[in-house]
Amino acid sequence: MTVTTTTTTTTLNLPIIDISSPDRISTANSIRQACVEYGFFYLVNHGVDEDFMKQAFEESAKFFSLPIEHKIKLNRKDYRGYTPLYAEKLDPSSLSKVLLAGDPKESYYIGSLEDATSASLNQWPSEELVPNWRPTMESLFWKILSAGKKLLSLIALSLNLDEDFFSKKPEAFLRLLRYSGELGSCAASAHSDYGLVTLLITNGVPGLQICKEKLNQPQVWEDVSHVEGGIIVNIGDMMERWTNCVYQSTLHRVMPTGKERYSVAFYMDPPTDCVVECFESCCSESSPPRFPPIRSGDYFSERFKLIYGSERNLKWSIEPKN
């Protein structure tokens, strides 16, 4: 099948959700509408201070500016640590059979700090190299987690579930991202996220685009603008499975602009032993479940295999390109 992609210059006007509103039912209804129509929205008044985020981006840039020999010592293990340039291809179907090159971005994963077992798996760069890095990122984790749990309780309300259905003990990962800005290919190829929700904060450099109708051809892409003080939220595949596609996991990508782009993605996922199956309220005789039940950990394992491929490809990805 030939896929034709059309990119527009249209800037999408996404819904803006005020998470601090005292009218939780109205806010939940607004979230439901946003999840049904777009799968993306902005979150404001979330409690993550703009000045602090500026500091976090400065610390992120300090790490990514280190020589590769320092960064590669913290190479990704147990989904924690450093992922080099070109190591990840979010759309494996578009991977060049000749070059085997991934996306021109690098990242750093920090797992949950909520329990000692998970926190012990995290890797941290040397304090001598980046003295304020760890405390800044730990503080960033807690700040976004607080906003994320409030959001998950509102999403539960929007589905007529107990408020703590999703927020009891979500698996949370903080991911720092640097896009090189090099022209000629997607900075992050087209994909949908895998978990419940993603909270995304950027440094204002444009590039994020979404395709609302991911099954239609040709694909139509629209720009997502930067909203000062706003967190961009998008629904993941697990939420789409749980809701029987009532809530959409929207296709998105990052296009290069010639400028370095930094962002922070905060993933909130179900625990690995959680069995995800369609909510009764989201299916009926006329709309039966579209997906079989699946254990969350098994689902993520299969998806990550497609993204990262073999260790040979990972080794190639950290070597300079000719």
pLDDT at 308: 58
Question: Which residue is associated with the tokens 């295999």?
Answer: 305
pLDDT at 196: 93
Q: List pLDDT tens digits, range 186-209.
A: 778 888 898 999 999 999 999 999
Strands (E) in 261-319, as ranges, are 261-269, 275-276, 294-295
Three-class SS state of 200: strand
Structure tokens belonging to residue 136: 């800044």
Confirm or reject CATH 3.40.50.2300 for domain 5-317, answering yes or no.
no
Distance CA 68, CA 207 (A): 25
Over 80: is that where the pLDDT of 304 sits?
no
Return the number of other C-beta atoms located less than 10 Å from residue 298's C-beta.
Answer: 12
Q: How many C-beta atoms surround the C-beta of residue 240 within 10 A? A: 22
Amino acid 101: pLDDT? 65
Please state, as a whole number, how many other Cβ atoms lie within 10 Å of the Cβ of residue 127. 11
CA 188, 189, 194, 197 torsion-angle sign: positive
Q: Which element (helix H / strand E) includes 296?
A: helix 296-308
Percentage of residues in the chain having pLDDT higher than 70 = 88
For the chain, which residues make up each domain, given as ranges?
5-317
Greater model confidence, 109 or 12: 109
Q: Which DSSP state fits 276?
A: E
**C-alpha span between 104 and 146 (Å, rounded):** 31
> Could you tell me if 113 and 121 are in contact, meaning their C-beta atoms sit under 8 angstroms apart?
no
